[in-house]
Amino acid sequence: MSDIGRLRAARDSVLLWFAPARVQDEGTTPDYRFSLANERTFLAWIRTALALIGGGFAVDQFLTDHLTHWARLVLSLGLLAAGVACTLRAVNHWVRCERAMRLGTNLPVSRFPAALAVVVAVLAIAMVTVVLAGWAG
């Protein structure tokens, strides 16, 4: 897909968030079980977002012995931002999947899970390093 096509697709899906009734005008209503499965996937992503947000609070509250104020601030704001990204992506992906099912097209593919996995792995390694360094020092 070209960059312009990608931009247009992104604009269309953001417009869909704010004119949600349009989703239900397009195509045919899929089997309700598929819609419910899509809803559960959405909720699973919301729980992931909640875990990231809760992790952001936990870093600030429970790593006080190991981290300086600024390190805690950066880590917890990073986790909170990841939670926000996860939430927005959950809504976007849910709308796009629902639309694809109504129109009978392929489900959208996404790099987001891989990107999130990398971010979480890096954060986890950083925290383990910091805590171990705190014990050693």
Binding footprint of other proteins on the chain (CB under 8 A): 17, 20-21, 23-24, 29-30, 32-33, 35-40, 42-44, 46-47, 49-51, 53-54, 56-58, 60-61, 72-73, 76-77, 80-81, 83-84, 87-88, 90-91, 94-95, 98
Tell me how far the alpha carbon of residue 104 is from its chain's centroid: 25
Q: Is the Cβ of residue 62 or residue 135 nearer to other proteins in the bound state?
A: 62
Cα angle 83, 23, 81 (rounded to 5 degrees) comes to 10
Name which of 85 and 130 has its Cβ closer to other proteins: 85
Closest CB to other proteins among residues 51, 135: 51
Count of CB atoms situated within 10 Å of the CB of 53: 19
DSSP 111: S
- Least distance (Å) from other proteins to the CB of residue 3? 27
Q: Are 76 and 53 in contact (CB under 8 A)?
A: no
Residue placing its CB nearer to other proteins in the complex, 8 or 22 = 22
CA–CA dist 22, 99 (Å, integer): 10
- Minimum separation from the CB atom of position 44 to other proteins (A): 7
Query: Element (H or E) spanning 40, and its range?
Result: helix 32-62
